[in-house]
């Protein structure tokens, strides 16, 4: 069937750029209003924002209503698979450890390393969270680590905030490098080159994040008193993040950058654990709700503010996690058995990574289980190849031929990160001899936990797909492009905005990646990089990568992450409070990425960091 162009994107439909930009921003403004001012549930706020996006696309940007609706459906499909499926199955693995009592052993295996709350926050929220981000992504680090911290006695609200802050610098390599792979697909720049550039930015932030987390818990003096372990945790992860991300530069045959977070997280945990065998904080710092706080010879516990809702949340999560028999000694076998579900998840994820690589080589789904394929591509009715991209967004703006926007839903049931997580959960149930009744409890509990986050994810991605196909996102992007020489800074801020809109760094890269490359070319042609000596390819690589590395800082404020955080810590209804608590942290850290990009664009010798 031949497809014809039925809608051409117009970045200035009102012939007044400021007014057009204002209308393009209405869905974002609506989302802010409903989430923060009206304090709606995130799922309802996302639906309201998506509805406003459809209306604006139809009435202002002249996109046919049926196309705008199908764009929303396309986004919802992506929100359910792979994102929603991944989040649910990662939580399923976690719930298996809880229901079988293994999570209590996991908690103890971490607690024995240190009973200091500052160290526990870094070990779980940052190091273990980085591993989960690389293994699954999709909100699973926030969900699992948030619940783990609450189970260790952390204030639920603070646990949510800490995990949102921690889940930043690893995000660009989440889900086995999905964001970088997405950026490669929309820009045509090789994943290896993009990974190298990201590896020259993110490790600097990874050194900072553990310090930043702990400072959000306590005073500067209390933070600096544990600086050695913070340096080991952040520094080791940063080192391995750099090595995994750039190894192909030194050993061309060794392209292991998709495993950056998995390898970096595991090695950071191991090295920090070894370090803690030889070093302990002089004064133990704990919350009032943590066990053994009045043990002789230690400083009194530090109490964080609690309210009635927080106390109820903490009691609920503690009851959910269960308690461990602290008198029973931990053996290596018991600890290994407790961590087994996560080990299986990591193994299966690596195996599906090889399948995904084979799919990419063949550019088609593999034959699995007889006639079944590893994925199916489904063209979206009324949308696939019927939207002409605005000239400014086309790969070749001077070409007289229209450039159609593809709209194909890839039903990747096998290689979606959720599938190996699901397989790990089922196999773990079998190996741990879970009864049918326990299995029902595990599945039911997981579905209840996901009843708000998954609809929110679906609505948010539906919103982003409407803005993408209508050209509304590009209208906002053009406003950033007018900043000229300062654009390297705003390239990171645009990526940050994209993650807030889509809920994922991969979504932001899909949303703005092509525009970033075009804008980099424009400011290069205007002579922006003449003094720095960067050539066009380098300028494009730097600006496009900034979309991803700046975007990671938006991960802590997107509705998906906040919703998952509230679900994991039993803080439902406090989405707006958490959003306001992390907003300025997000803006500050995104600005740091922008400044770093600006320095790498123009200041020697930092320009040498651009591949």
* Residue after which a domain boundary falls, among 401, 432, 463: 432
* Residue after which a domain boundary falls, among 403, 432, 461: 432
Co-location of 68 and 145 in the same domain? no
The answer to the question of residue 231 being in a domain is yes
Q: How many domains does the chain have?
A: 2
| Model pLDDT, residue 373 | 84
Co-location of 427 and 550 in the same domain? no
The answer to the question of residue 479 being in a domain is yes
Domain that holds residue 171: 85-295+335-366+418-432
| Model pLDDT, residue 429 | 95
Co-location of 362 and 502 in the same domain? no
Mean of pLDDT values over 142-156: 80
The per-residue pLDDT for range 264-277, each reduced to its tens digit, is 888 888 899 899 88
Co-location of 35 and 101 in the same domain? no
| Model pLDDT, residue 300 | 34
Residue 16 DSSP class: -
Co-location of 223 and 178 in the same domain? yes
Rg of the chain on CA atoms, in Å: 24
The answer to the question of residue 250 being in a domain is yes
* Residue after which a domain boundary falls, among 384, 400, 432: 432
Co-location of 235 and 114 in the same domain? yes
Q: Do 594 and 554 form a contact (C-beta atoms < 8 A)?
A: no
Q: Do 482 and 24 form a contact (C-beta atoms < 8 A)?
A: no
| Model pLDDT, residue 560 | 66
The answer to the question of residue 405 being in a domain is no
| Model pLDDT, residue 301 | 36
* HEC profile of 80-145: HHHHHHHHHHHHHHHHHHHHCCHHHHHHHHHHCCCCCHHHHHHHHHHHHHHHHHHHCCCCHHHHHH
Mean of pLDDT over the chain = 82
The answer to the question of residue 390 being in a domain is no
Is the pLDDT at 386 greater than 70? The verdict is yes
Co-location of 359 and 504 in the same domain? no
Q: Do 21 and 476 form a contact (C-beta atoms < 8 A)?
A: yes
The per-residue pLDDT for range 177-225, each reduced to its tens digit, is 778 877 887 777 888 899 999 999 999 999 999 999 999 888 899 899 9
Co-location of 68 and 91 in the same domain? no
Co-location of 531 and 577 in the same domain? yes
């Amino acid at each position: 069937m031949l497809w014809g162009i039925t809608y051409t994107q117009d970045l200035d439909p009102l012939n007044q750029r400021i007014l057009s930009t204002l209308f393009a921003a209405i869905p974002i403004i609506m989302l802010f209003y409903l989430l923060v001012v009206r304090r709606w549930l995130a799922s309802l706020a996302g639906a309201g924002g998506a509805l406003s996006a459809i209306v604006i696309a139809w009435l202002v940007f002249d996109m046919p209503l049926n196309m705008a609706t199908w764009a929303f459906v396309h986004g919802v499909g992506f929100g359910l698979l792979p994102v929603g499926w991944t989040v649910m199955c990662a939580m399923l693995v976690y719930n298996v450890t809880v229901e079988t009592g293994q999570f209590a052993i996991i908690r103890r295996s971490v607690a024995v390393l240190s009973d200091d709350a500052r160290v526990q926050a870094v070990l779980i929220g940052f190091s273990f969270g980085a591993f989960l981000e690389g293994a699954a992504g999709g909100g699973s680090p926030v969900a699992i680590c948030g619940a783990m911290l609450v189970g260790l006695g952390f204030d639920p609200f603070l646990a949510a905030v800490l995990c949102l802050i921690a889940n930043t610098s690893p995000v660009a390599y989440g889900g086995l490098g999905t964001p970088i792979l997405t950026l490669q697909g929309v820009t045509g720049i090789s994943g290896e080159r993009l990974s190298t550039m990201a590896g020259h930015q993110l490790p600097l932030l990874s050194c900072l994040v553990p310090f930043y987390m702990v400072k959000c818990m306590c005073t500067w003096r209390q933070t600096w008193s544990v600086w050695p372990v913070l340096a080991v945790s952040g520094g080791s992860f940063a080192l391995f993040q750099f090595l995994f991300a750039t190894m192909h530069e030194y050993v061309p045959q060794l392209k292991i950058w998709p495993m950056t977070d998995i390898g970096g997280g595991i090695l950071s945990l191991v090295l920090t654990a070894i370090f803690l065998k030889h070093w302990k904080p002089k004064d133990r710092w704990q919350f009032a709700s943590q066990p053994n706080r009045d043990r002789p010879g230690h400083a009194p516990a530090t109490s964080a503010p609690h309210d009635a809702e927080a106390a109820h949340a903490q009691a609920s999560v503690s009851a959910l996690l269960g308690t461990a028999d602290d008198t029973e000694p931990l053996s290596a076998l018991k600890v290994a058995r407790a961590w087994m579900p996560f080990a299986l998840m990591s193994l299966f994820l690596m195996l599906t990574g090889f399948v995904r690589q084979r799919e990419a080589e063949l550019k088609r789904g593999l034959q699995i289980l007889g006639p079944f394929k590893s994925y199916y591509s489904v063209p979206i009715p009324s949308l696939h190849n019927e939207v002409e991209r605005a000239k400014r967004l086309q790969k070749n703006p001077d070409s007289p031929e229209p450039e159609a926007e593809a709209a194909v839903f890839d039903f990747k049931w096998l290689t979606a990160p959720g599938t190996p997580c699901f397989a790990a959960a089922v196999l773990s149930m079998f190996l741990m001899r879970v009864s049918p009744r326990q299995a029902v409890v595990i599945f039911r509990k997981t579905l209840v936990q996901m009843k708000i986050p998954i609809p929110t994810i679906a609505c948010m991605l539906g919103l982003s797909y409407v803005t993408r196909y209508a050209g509304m996102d590009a209208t906002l992007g053009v406003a950033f492009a007018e900043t000229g020489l300062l654009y390297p800074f705003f390239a990171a801020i645009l990526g940050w905005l994209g993650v807030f809109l889509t809920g994922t760094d991969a979504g932001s890269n899909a949303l703005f990646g092509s525009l970033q490359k075009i804008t980099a070319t424009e400011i290069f042609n205007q002579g922006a990089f003449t003094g720095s000596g960067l050539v066009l390819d380098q300028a494009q690589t730097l600006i496009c990568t900034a979309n991803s590395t700046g975007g990671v800082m938006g991960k802590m404020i997107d509705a998906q992450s906040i919703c998952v955080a509230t679900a994991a810590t039993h803080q439902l209804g406090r989405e707006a409070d958490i959003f306001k608590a992390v907003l300025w942290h997000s803006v500050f850290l995104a600005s740091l990425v922008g400044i770093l990009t600006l320095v790498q664009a123009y200041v020697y010798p930092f320009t040498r960091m651009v591949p």
